[in-house]
Chain A
Amino acid sequence: MILNGLPHLDPASVKFDHSFVFDAHNYNRKQLITRWRGTVVERTHLGYAVTGWQKSIYHFGGLNREVPILVSMLLDETGRIRSLKIDERSEGSQGRRCDFACLETLCGEKLIGTPLTELGSRVSSAPDVKCLHLFEILSACASFFGTLAARNLTEGSEQEYIAIRPERDGLVSDSTHEILGQRDQTQVRLEYRTSPRLGRENLAESLDAAVTVRYNGEAAFAEELHASDFESVYAQLNRLFSKCHHREKAFFGLKGRVRFFNSPSMVGLVLLTISHSFVPGLVSRAWRIEKILHYLQTGYGKNPCKGFGG
């Protein structure tokens, strides 16, 4: 399947065949980043089957990488986790360092017996499960399951697709989110007034740009971003995507802490795209981008990954 937009999803088939995630590809190299994420909850005769996935596809110069991860859980009637499996075809962004057999054992020991809606009490941040992607998927599952319960629903699905591409003087991110059959679209266009200055680890340490946001095809808001250090760049991008997140939550009638959104990841993905546009070197570009990926997942001065075997 070519992944060039939010695909048609058949929730009834998800728990039987996970290939839909691993067989989805995007060969459009103008899209530097594609991310498809989703959650399906189904009622079973013993309780619930919950499937969560995230597939990221990166095209950064010589770095072409697919990162598909799928987690399936069975819950009892009360919503307590009975089993947790990570599909053996899953791959992390750190290659061999991502040992999902070990991560599955770790997550199982930590989470089996825990009500899914109380996942946050056992897993509050990525280090708790040693993997950022896994943390995002599990948090999304718990949050969506809680949302269904709050609406007295026992089944449902949500999925989200984002694509980020560079433009001549900026970048564009397009995202589509479908929750319980309702769909919205957000487009963020960032136009550089002056070229961002890259600093340590080749991350943007300045930003002077005009931003326009379209929501469901209509102009939503426009603003200027001015930042002169990395912390400020990060804060301003966080603010920007938080505003988009607010619109989405209002559109879908969601309240509280909802984790089945890519919004928190958007800052890192946009930073990667900015770096790609301005990082020097051709041959070494993929290597530099990979280092930025490591940083965004772990921070300065830490090991490249919190997984096993590295």
Chain B
Amino acid sequence: MEEKIKEILSEVSGVPLAELREDTRLVGDLGMSSFDLADTVVSVEESYGVKIPDERFGELETVADILRVIREENAL
């Protein structure tokens, strides 16, 4: 799952996959906007059939946060 999430982030942000680490910051390092974040969430949801509640968007600051929230919400 981790690799697939990074692929999605690479696709949305335009940053090469190899440059993404778990502590990469979505806004600070990847320059992602709120639309990019929603784009990522929608892609993740469509890929895994999972749901990330809107109220958890604020927690998504790093790549690791996305992985953690998906695991917590969907027990993957």
Instruction: List A residues at the B interface (Cβ < 8 Å).
Output: 120, 124-125, 227, 231-232, 234-236, 238-239, 241-243, 245-246, 255-257, 263-264, 267
On whether the beta carbons of B54 and A232 are closer than 8 Å, the reply is yes
Which residue from A238, A256, A257 sits with its C-beta under 8 Å from B34? A238
Q: State the majority secondary structure of interface residues on B.
A: helix
On whether the beta carbons of B38 and A255 are closer than 8 Å, the reply is no
Besides the known contacts A231-B55, A242-B41, A257-B11, 16 further A-B residue pairs in the complex with CB atoms under 8 A apart: A124-B31, A231-B57, A232-B54, A235-B38, A236-B54, A238-B37, A239-B38, A242-B35, A242-B38, A246-B42, A246-B46, A255-B11, A256-B14, A257-B14, A264-B33, A264-B35
Asked if B61 is at the interface (CB within 8 A of a chain A CB), the reply is no
Asked if B24 is at the interface (CB within 8 A of a chain A CB), the reply is no
Return chain A residues, CB-CB under 8 Å to B54.
Answer: 227, 231-232, 235-236, 239
A270 shortest CB reach to chain B, Å:
13
A110 shortest CB reach to chain B, Å:
16
On whether the beta carbons of A120 and B14 are closer than 8 Å, the reply is yes
On whether the beta carbons of A257 and B12 are closer than 8 Å, the reply is yes
- In chain B between 38 and 67, which residues have their CB closer than 8 angstroms to a CB of chain A? 38-39, 41-43, 46, 54-55, 57-58
A-B contact pairs, 21 of them (CB 8 A): A120-B14, A124-B31, A125-B31, A231-B55, A231-B58, A232-B54, A235-B57, A236-B54, A239-B41, A239-B42, A239-B54, A242-B38, A242-B41, A242-B42, A245-B39, A246-B39, A255-B11, A257-B13, A263-B35, A264-B33, A267-B35
Which A residue's beta carbon lies closest to that of B14? A257
Q: Which of B39, B46, B55, B58 has the most CB of A within 10 A?
A: B39
B18 shortest CB reach to chain A, Å:
15
Return chain B residues, CB-CB under 8 Å to A120.
Answer: 14, 31
Q: State the majority secondary structure of interface residues on A.
A: helix
A229 shortest CB reach to chain B, Å:
9
Which A residue's beta carbon lies closest to that of B54? A235
Return chain A residues, CB-CB under 8 Å to B31.
Answer: 120, 124-125
Return chain B residues, CB-CB under 8 Å to A236.
Answer: 54
Which A residue's beta carbon lies closest to that of B13? A257
Return chain A residues, CB-CB under 8 Å to B58.
Answer: 231
Return chain A residues, CB-CB under 8 Å to B37.
Answer: 238
Q: Which of A231, A241, A242, A267 has the most CB of B within 10 A?
A: A242
B68 shortest CB reach to chain A, Å:
18
Can you list, as one digit per residue, whether each of B6-37 has a CB less than 8 Å from chain A (1) or not (0)?
00000111100000000000000001011111
On whether the beta carbons of A256 and B39 are closer than 8 Å, the reply is no
A301 to B54, CA, bound (A): 24
Which residue from A238, A256, A257 sits with its C-beta under 8 Å from B38? A238
Return chain A residues, CB-CB under 8 Å to B41.
Answer: 239, 242
B50 shortest CB reach to chain A, Å:
14
A139 shortest CB reach to chain B, Å:
10
A236 to B38, CA, bound (A): 8
Which A residue's beta carbon lies closest to that of B31? A124
Which B residue's beta carbon lies closest to that of A266? B35
Return chain B residues, CB-CB under 8 Å to A227.
Answer: 54
Return chain B residues, CB-CB under 8 Å to A243.
Answer: 42
On whether the beta carbons of A232 and B38 are closer than 8 Å, the reply is no
Q: Which of B36, B38, B55 has the most CB of A within 10 A?
A: B38
Return chain A residues, CB-CB under 8 Å to B36.
Answer: 257, 264
Known interface pairs A231-B57, A246-B43. Does A238 touch B35 (Cβ–Cβ under 8 Å)?
yes
